[in-house]
């Protein structure tokens, strides 16, 4: 290990453990938590050291890898998944962290890295308006429009914040910031075009759509063309963030919410247990008192929950897929609950009904996207 690498790793840990102002704080580990620190932390030595490590992981193209501890400088341990991607929060999370540090510290040394990463994100948008999981493109499903795990919703949320030009993105040069609006509009357009219809009714989205035909598409063997009870939620949240939603955006949100309400599962609970071989497992059991659940995958034509293991065979019973997938993948969840009970009703009142009543006077941008 190089001396500089050792020093940087020690600085990240030591500075986080002894923040200015007294008291002790556990080191901030890499992950979504790095974006949820107190505002004052981003101007600290610990935050600047973390940003230094993050910059050293950036690729020549401008992106970052997934499943990699970006708080550990390269060379301190082998990296995993070394490729430019927006999957699992990669690239978007590093960019958001850098913006917070640049703004809080007033130190512009990380600005070039941020702007190179932002140009990478803008350049990765496909002709369809979507974003692939990896860019430069890799063969296979990686080039599909990727809603999986909120990848594209995360990108659009970042671009929206950059385009608005408010802290912590006020430092972004106006010409680069201006490129975000057309990208957002194209991304919103493809979201509307990929929303799946059942007859005349708008429903949800697949976790990935073909970048050319826009049809629901396969990803991994256990991720079939289907309607997603998970990814549809992140897409709806992005659409609801549009300050002045168009008629088409409102219809898309209303349709997806109605579909999520209709496909909710009642009287079912998922529990963890240890099987006869001592392995962790999960099973779905009947429970009349249980709250609502949603399936990760719904059959495109019937809305019937489907389950699929590594053998690529679609089944209708969670118990019929292999133990490794049952315990290692979320086939059931409560992902839409807060959206349906709180966020959507509030959005309806604040963004839609007040606007129709002529009470909404917030500034917006072209095509009702903001």
Residue 219, CB half-sphere, CA atoms under 13 Å: how many?
21
- Mean pLDDT estimate for the chain: 90
Which residues are marked as active site?
Answer: 88, 220
180 beta partners: none
Query: How many angstroms separate the Cα of 104 from the Cα of each of 30, 38, 138, 204, 295?
Result: 19, 11, 37, 39, 41
288 beta partners: none
Quickly state the pLDDT bin for 357 (edges 50, 70, 90).
Answer: low
Residue 7 has a pLDDT of 36
Closest CA to 294 of 239, 320, 256: 256
Mean pLDDT of 164-172: 96
Q: How far apart are CA 370 and CA 352, in angstroms?
A: 15
Residue 28 has a pLDDT of 84
| Token representation of residue 6 | 């050792």
Residue 133: partners with Cβ closer than 8 Å, 6 or more residues away? 85, 86, 87, 141, 142, 143, 144, 146, 148, 151, 208
Residue 342 has a pLDDT of 98
Quickly state the pLDDT bin for 274 (edges 50, 70, 90).
Answer: very high
The answer to whether residue 349 scores a pLDDT higher than 90 is yes
Residue 331 has a pLDDT of 98
Residue 204: partners with Cβ closer than 8 Å, 6 or more residues away? 195, 196, 227, 228, 229, 231, 232, 235, 256, 259, 260, 298
> CATH second-level architecture of 188-370?
Alpha/alpha barrel (1.50)
8 A C-beta contact, residue 298 and residue 226? yes
Residue 358 has a pLDDT of 62
Under DSSP, the state recorded for 21 is T
Closest CA to 95 of 130, 136, 64: 64
The answer to whether residue 252 scores a pLDDT higher than 80 is yes
The answer to whether residue 276 scores a pLDDT higher than 60 is yes
299-321 pLDDT, tens per residue? 999 999 999 999 999 999 999 99
Residue 21 has a pLDDT of 43
Looking up tokens 């005349």 gives: 200
Residue 293: partners with Cβ closer than 8 Å, 6 or more residues away? 264, 265, 268, 269, 270, 332, 333, 334
Residue 77 has a pLDDT of 57
Residue 343, CB half-sphere, CA atoms under 13 Å: how many?
17
Quickly state the pLDDT bin for 9 (edges 50, 70, 90).
Answer: very low
Q: How far apart are CA 47 and CA 98, in angstroms?
A: 9
Q: Is the peptide bond before 136 cis (omega within 30 degrees of 0)?
A: yes
What is the per-residue DSSP string for 46-73? HHHHHHHHHHHH--TTS---SS--TTS-
Looking up tokens 């600085």 gives: 11
Closest CA to 134 of 63, 71, 217: 63
The answer to whether residue 173 scores a pLDDT higher than 60 is yes
Residue 80 has a pLDDT of 58
8 A C-beta contact, residue 99 and residue 168? yes
Closest CA to 119 of 52, 179, 58, 186: 179
R_g over Cα of the chain? 22
């Amino acid at each position: 290990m190089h001396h500089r690498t050792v020093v940087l790793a020690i600085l990240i840990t030591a500075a986080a453990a002894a923040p200015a102002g007294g008291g002790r704080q556990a080191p901030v580990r890499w992950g979504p938590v790095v974006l949820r620190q107190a505002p004052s932390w981003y101007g600290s030595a610990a935050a600047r050291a973390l940003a230094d490590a993050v910059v050293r992981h950036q690729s020549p193209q401008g992106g970052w890898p997934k499943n990699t501890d970006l708080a550990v400088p390269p060379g301190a341990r082998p990296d995993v998944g070394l490729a430019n991607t927006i999957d699992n929060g990669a690239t978007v999370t590093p960019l958001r962290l850098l913006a917070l540090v640049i703004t809080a510290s007033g130190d512009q040394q990380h600005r070039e890295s941020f702007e190179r990463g932002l140009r990478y994100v803008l350049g990765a948008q496909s002709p369809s308006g979507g974003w692939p999981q990896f860019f430069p493109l890799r063969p296979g499903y990686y080039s599909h429009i990727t809603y999986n795990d909120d990848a594209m919703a995360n990108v659009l949320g970042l671009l929206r914040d950059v385009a608005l030009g408010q802290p912590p993105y006020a430092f972004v040069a106006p010409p680069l910031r201006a490129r975000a609006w057309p990208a957002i509009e194209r991304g919103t357009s493809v979201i509307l075009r990929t929303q799946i219809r059942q007859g005349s009714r708008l429903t949800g989205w697949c976790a990935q759509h073909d970048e050319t035909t826009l049809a629901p598409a396969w990803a991994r063997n256990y991720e079939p063309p289907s309607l997603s009870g998970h990814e549809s939620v992140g897409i709806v949240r992005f659409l609801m963030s549009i300050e002045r939603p168009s008629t088409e955006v409102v219809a898309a949100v209303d349709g997806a919410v109605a579909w999520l309400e209709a496909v909710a599962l009642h009287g079912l609970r998922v529990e963890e247990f240890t099987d006869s071989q001592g392995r962790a497992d999960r099973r779905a059991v009947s429970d009349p008192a249980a709250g609502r659940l949603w399936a990760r995958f719904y059959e495109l034509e019937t809305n019937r929950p489907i389950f699929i293991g590594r053998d690529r065979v679609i089944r209708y019973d969670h118990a019929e897929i292999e133990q490794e997938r049952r315990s290692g993948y979320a086939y059931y969840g409560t992902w839409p609950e807060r959206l349906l009970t709180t966020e959507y009703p509030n959005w309806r009142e604040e963004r839609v009904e007040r606007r129709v009543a002529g009470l909404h006077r917030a500034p917006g941008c072209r095509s009702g996207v903001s």
